Structure 1
Amino acid sequence: MKAAGILALIISLSIIAESKVYTRCKLAKIFVKAGLDNYEGFTLGNWICMAYYESHYNTTAQKILEDGSVDYGIFQINSFTWCRNVRRQQKNHCHVACSALVTDDLTDAILCAKKIVKETQGMNYWQRWKKHCEGKDMSEWKRGCEVS
């Protein structure tokens, strides 16, 4: 029993150690390289603003919702519709495990976010984007960043 407790502690510490919080400019570079700037008409500033308000740029952010689903990763992508976790039957439209959305490698999260924007009503999926970013000057979000 003691060994199981130690193993659980080691696993939880390794999860904490793997948590990455990007800086705004580092994220801007990653987003530009991934083709998010002007993707479906949304500027880089929209993506950076949305990621800030959804997760504060934390790759391992998770939020359990009242319906039992979970929002995952830097974009807070929901498990019920967009990814697969072990707890619920999901639609998994992004064809990805939810665990792939909470890693430092943002490839799966970005591909899924692109799918969400393309297949829904743009960035309206993200309520925090609607509240904090929609219709505002987005140029400040990339100011001071070299994003070529």
Structure 2
Amino acid sequence: MKICLMLIVVAALAGNSWALNRCSVVNAIRRGGLVGIKGYSLGDYVCMAYHASRYDTSLNRSPTEYGIFQINSYWWCDDGKTPGRKNLCGIRCKNLLNTNISDDVNCLKRIVRDPNGLGASTPWKKYCKGKNVSSYATGC
């Protein structure tokens, strides 16, 4: 009885969280051709994803940040509600909230080519920039 109750509580707390494992993220970034753009390493991208979302693709932490990389709806995607939005990736924000992160990676490729690059990402600036991030990609 206690085990059954514990499983119900765990399932309720889990909600719709769709966290990927680190190697799935590494492989998607490799396939997406992000590595090397503006000198960013695989570790930079994986470190950013970890600190932005803990690899949770369903994360919508604030009203304007979406998915595994916490992509902003003002500049990069269309959430249908952010005033003055630009939608420079040409994607609906809700498409960034599933486990298929190829569209997230494609949008990140566009973001990285912007003059600010990953510097627009608070998690990357705070936890990854200028640090040895190679361990984030090791073993995959």
* Shorter-chain TM-score tier: 0.7 to 0.9
Question: CA separation in 2, counterparts of 1:114 and 1:26?
Answer: 17
Identity percentage over the alignment?
36
Could you list the structure 1 runs, at least 4 aligned residues long, displaced by more than 3 angstroms after superposition. none
Secondary structure of residue in 1 paired with 2:103: helix
1:27 to 25, 28, 32: 25
Secondary structure of residue in 1 paired with 2:61: strand
**2:94 matched residue in structure 1:** 99
Which ranges of structure 1 fall in alignment gaps of 5 or more residues? 1-12
Of residues 85-94 and 124-133 in structure 1, the stretch that sits farther from structure 2 once superposed is 85-94
Question: CA separation in 2, counterparts of 1:23 and 1:134?
Answer: 22
1:88 to 82, 88, 92: 82
Question: CA separation in 2, counterparts of 1:32 and 1:138?
Answer: 16
Q: CA deviation at 1:86?
A: 2.1
Note the alpha carbon deviations across 1:43-70, whole angstroms, 9 max, x for none: 0000000000001100011122xxxx51
Q: Does structure 1 retain, via aligned residues, the 8 Å contact 2:77–2:91?
A: yes
- 1:128 and 2:123 are equivalent in the alignment: yes
Which ranges of structure 2 fall in alignment gaps of 5 or more residues? 1-11
Superposed counterparts of 1:1-148, under 5 Å: 16-17=15-16, 19-64=17-62, 69-89=63-83, 90-145=85-140
Aligned length: 126
